[in-house]
Structure 1
Amino acid sequence: MIELQHTTKTHDESRQGEALDMLPTGKSTGRKLYIESYGCQMNFSDSEIVASILLDNGFETTRDYRDADVVFINTCSIRENAEQRVRNRLKEFESAKAKNPGMIVGVLGCMAERLKSKFLEEEKLVDVVVGPDAYRDLPNLIDKVDDGTKAVNVLLSREETYADISPVRLNSNGITAFISIMRGCDNMCSFCVVPFTRGRERSRDYQSIVQEAQDLFNAGYREVTLLGQNVDSYKYTKPVAEGEEPAPAVNFAQLLAMVAEVSPELRVRFSTSHPKDITDEVLYTMGRYENICKYIHLPVQSGNSRVLDLMNRTYDREWYMGRVDAIRRIIPECAISTDVITGFCTETEEEHEETLSMMDYVKYDFAYMFAYSERPGTLAAKRYADDVPEEVKKRRLTEIVNKQQEHSLYRAQNFIGKVQKVLIEGFSKRSDEDYCGRNDQNTMVVFPVDTRFKPGQYVNVLAERCTSATLIGKIVD
């Protein structure tokens, strides 16, 4: 699972985004595209790939679905609440489709892959269903709908990485961007649908990744986030032509260094790390480059070894604590965030207490916290009874959220009185008189606008006070 923002999260990580108005790169068809994305950063990155493919086929993008000829929802299946939001949103499109019978409505992504033809059979307003590996087929599928038939392609691929497609940056601030470095997941966590909806792991050619980072920097972007379900297992082996000597494989630590060397002015982040795969080599690489941000998202899920075994996480409590110790030793200033699932199958009160004690041990900067939601088709749904009562799940989740708020405030308070290097991302959500941006550790910083500086520039900000999620300060020379 990939994290969304660096704020504390509880039940549902879905959010939505709209396409910017953008002209086609191919010959214009006069047709307009609207994309709305839910769930993780990978879905938002995929929407940028979809936009690129359709702009090359003559589409324009629009901010208003009512003006669109084609409406796509890029979906998330990680939790039941996320799926329900998508269903509710589809119903909202019904009136627009009634006024514009030619409108095509499609479902993309993980939910499309999981539910497949059920959408076409039961959700009458859905015309197209497309899985994460079939986006190149979208022009053909749209043609089929134009000819009067429903269209579906949810085939998974062992090779598709979209490495040759330059994503269209939707909702972009022109400063920060995502770069997808791999697709799929080989970790069969028992609670997770991702291996079934996104297929097996495959890594993208490192040269195309570095080139995309260089192109973004040349276009004025100053921060990139390398994305993958498990970035630390990135491993690319260049295909060998006949008569050539095989080149050594490139691992994540080496890729991280290559991207960091694009420019010292380009900040590099990454997400997500699996505790079993984050190596000391990665940590030492982070420490060696100032522009690799000192922030790691390290999902723990549970603090109890028996529950971790049921989750098929392939590490135990002690292993995880050892990885945290290594981070603290090699990168003392590094921030750590996490995911926590409470109320997993058969979890006892004592095991819940071990999760709380793990939180006390690490004192995470941020966390994404959820009550367990059984997902059809997962190993947990097949093997274990979802037997923790909902009221117990909710009470345990409240305890976890309260503890994390204490720890987030504790971590934020440690920055007070210290100068933070901040990349200005834009105006604060609350006031055009304040800028906002994040420090190296991914904490949001808010400070008064100084006309000497503009978004996309780095500034030094003295942190003067804080909330559990935000630092408040002023620019200093």
Structure 2
Amino acid sequence: PQAYHRLPEMLARAARSRGDILDTDFAVEEKFDRLALARDIEGPTAFLTIQEGCDKFCTFCVVPYTRGAEVSRETEAIVAEARMLAARGVREVTLLGQNVNAWRAAPARDPLGAPIAAREDGVWGLGQLCRHLARIEGIERIRFTTSHPRDMDADLIAAFGEEEALMPYLHLPVQSGADRILAAMNRGHTEAEYAATIARLRAARPDIALSGDFIVGFPGETDEDFEATLAHVERTGYAASFSFKYSRRPGTPAAAMAKQVAEPVKEERLARLQALLEAQRVAFNEAQIGKVLPVLFEKPGRNPGQLVGKSPYLQSVHASAPESMLGKIAPARIEGVTPRALAGVICGDGR
């Protein structure tokens, strides 16, 4: 999976030699060097790949087999691309990786200010990288996805409380609230350990909102296991979520497990879980009414004179505003909620 960018060259070699071509070189830096850089930026947001692959081997997942082991892009390359994006008007970057908070690399050569202490092993983790990127002129907002609970280390949690540019919104998949199922999934943590991580995050950043992933009907999931998932959701509270019925992925350990759950049972459980998660999403959105949120305006709305932007919590916000506000962050008082967006009124100058 780390060599697919060399396919055109391999095909040409195969055609010339009229034989098979085998490529087993895992040249990580070469792969990241060949990432397509965004040249024509449209809008004030952009994605920035910093990590690929996964070493966790959840029993339901194909990513370790299709994307390979965890590899991290070097810091200097990330910083160079972030600077390029900022020069093209990007205000918000989302750092991408299959397991993005597993990123580890050497510290930046230029700290852009006071030195940022490395980890005990001498490298930076994602917390240090976020602090550094926030020092780049023009970068006002930083997000990252997707994370694994096992890699939410103390420094990254502290960064949420210390770095204003790091948005108070985190996608942290849990998949199940039942320890027995988490073990069968090979998630590497218990429900209580996940809950403790959330408690530390909320202590560091009281306004943080969560998004999660859930799978129902995993092989062997009992009614009691499913009820534990519902109880977890009730206790935790999610502003957004992605939930699915378990489906077999050929070649994964879970596909061969006994006690596969019947499809009607999966459907009933998914409907119950999604009803609860949707109620939490609606409640979170309604709780924003009356608040003033900083909104990054990204594009024109459907109605004349209207712009659409994003709140710190990734909610779409519609507000009447001139096009000169595009690409700017402005305070907006939230006055209403629609099924998928917030309605706001700008109440201050943009920056």
TM-score (norm 1): 0.66
Pairs within 5 Å for 1:413-452: 413-428=286-301, 430-451=302-323
Aligned-partner SS, 1:471: strand
Aligned-partner SS, 2:32: coil
Pick from 385, 389, 393: which aligns with 2:266?
Answer: 393
Counterpart AA for 1:310:
A
CA shift in 2, pair 1:357/1:170, >3 Å: farther
Pick from 125, 128, 135: which aligns with 1:254?
Answer: 128
CA shift in 2, pair 1:304/1:234, >3 Å: same
Q: Which residue of 2 aligns with 1:456?
A: 327
1:465 partnered with 2:339: no
Q: Which residue of 2 aligns with 1:56?
A: none
1:214 partnered with 2:83: yes
Instruction: Among all aligned residue pairs of Structure 1 and Structure 2, give the percentage whose two residues are the same amino acid.
Output: 35
Question: Per-residue CA shift, 1:156-194, capped at 9, x if unaligned?
Answer: 736356332462438953321111111111101010000
- The offset of 1:305, in angstroms, is 0.4
Pick from 120, 137, 147: which aligns with 2:6?
Answer: 137
Q: Which residue of 1 aligns with 2:61?
A: 192
Q: Which residue of 2 aligns with 1:107?
A: none
Q: Which residue of 1 aligns with 2:182?
A: 308
Is the 1:463–1:474 contact (alpha carbons within 8 Å) kept by the matching residues of 2? Answer: yes
| RMSD, aligned α-carbons | 2.5
Pairs within 5 Å for 1:166-245: 167-169=36-38, 173-237=42-106
- Structure 1 window deviating more from structure 2 (225-234 vs 146-155): it is 146-155
CA shift in 2, pair 1:157/1:262, >3 Å: same
1:267 partnered with 2:138: no
CA shift in 2, pair 1:172/1:344, >3 Å: farther
Counterpart AA for 1:221:
V
Counterpart AA for 1:391:
P
Q: Distance in 1 between matches of 2:218 and 2:99?
A: 22
Counterpart AA for 2:286:
Q
- Structure 1 window deviating more from structure 2 (159-168 vs 225-234): it is 159-168
Q: Which residue of 1 aligns with 2:194?
A: 320
Question: Per-residue CA shift, 1:215-241, capped at 9, x if unaligned?
Answer: 110111111111112222211248xxx
Pairs within 5 Å for 1:17-416: 132-141=1-10, 143=12, 157=26, 159-160=28-29, 162-165=31-34, 167-169=36-38, 173-237=42-106, 248-263=122-137, 265-382=139-256, 384-385=257-258, 387-416=260-289
Q: Distance in 2 between matches of 1:391 and 1:171?
A: 47
CA shift in 2, pair 1:152/1:405, >3 Å: farther
- Structure 1 window deviating more from structure 2 (179-188 vs 339-348): it is 179-188
Is the 1:275–1:298 contact (alpha carbons within 8 Å) kept by the matching residues of 2? Answer: yes
CA shift in 2, pair 1:161/1:446, >3 Å: farther
Question: Per-residue CA shift, 1:23-79, capped at 9, x if unaligned?
Answer: xxxxxxxxxxxxxxxxxxxxxxxxxxxxxxxxxxxxxxxxxxxxxxxxxxxxxxxxx
Counterpart AA for 1:446:
H
- The offset of 1:141, in angstroms, is 4.5
Q: Distance in 1 between matches of 2:319 and 2:63?
A: 39
CA shift in 2, pair 1:151/1:174, >3 Å: farther
Aligned-partner SS, 1:440: coil
Question: Per-residue CA shift, 1:218-275, capped at 9, x if unaligned?
Answer: 111111111112222211248xxxxxxxx92121111111111113643111011211
Is the 2:160–2:201 contact (alpha carbons within 8 Å) kept by the matching residues of 1? Answer: no
Residue ranges of structure 1 left out of the alignment (5+ in a row): 1-131, 239-246
Q: Distance in 2 between matches of 1:212 and 1:443?
A: 26
Q: Distance in 2 between matches of 1:151 and 1:180?
A: 32
Question: Per-residue CA shift, 1:262-296, capped at 9, x if unaligned?
Answer: 13643111011211110231122122121111111
Q: Distance in 1 between matches of 2:68 and 2:220?
A: 28
Question: Per-residue CA shift, 1:77-108, capped at 9, x if unaligned?
Answer: xxxxxxxxxxxxxxxxxxxxxxxxxxxxxxxx
Aligned-partner SS, 1:436: strand
Q: Distance in 2 between matches of 1:443 and 1:217?
A: 23
Question: Per-residue CA shift, 1:344-371, capped at 9, x if unaligned?
Answer: 0010111111111111111100001100
Is the 1:421–1:440 contact (alpha carbons within 8 Å) kept by the matching residues of 2? Answer: yes
TM-score (norm 2): 0.88
Is the 2:45–2:90 contact (alpha carbons within 8 Å) kept by the matching residues of 1? Answer: yes
Q: Which residue of 2 aligns with 1:474?
A: 345
- The offset of 1:210, in angstroms, is 1.1
Is the 2:211–2:240 contact (alpha carbons within 8 Å) kept by the matching residues of 1? Answer: yes
Aligned-partner SS, 2:268: helix
Is the 2:218–2:261 contact (alpha carbons within 8 Å) kept by the matching residues of 1? Answer: yes
Aligned-partner SS, 2:31: coil
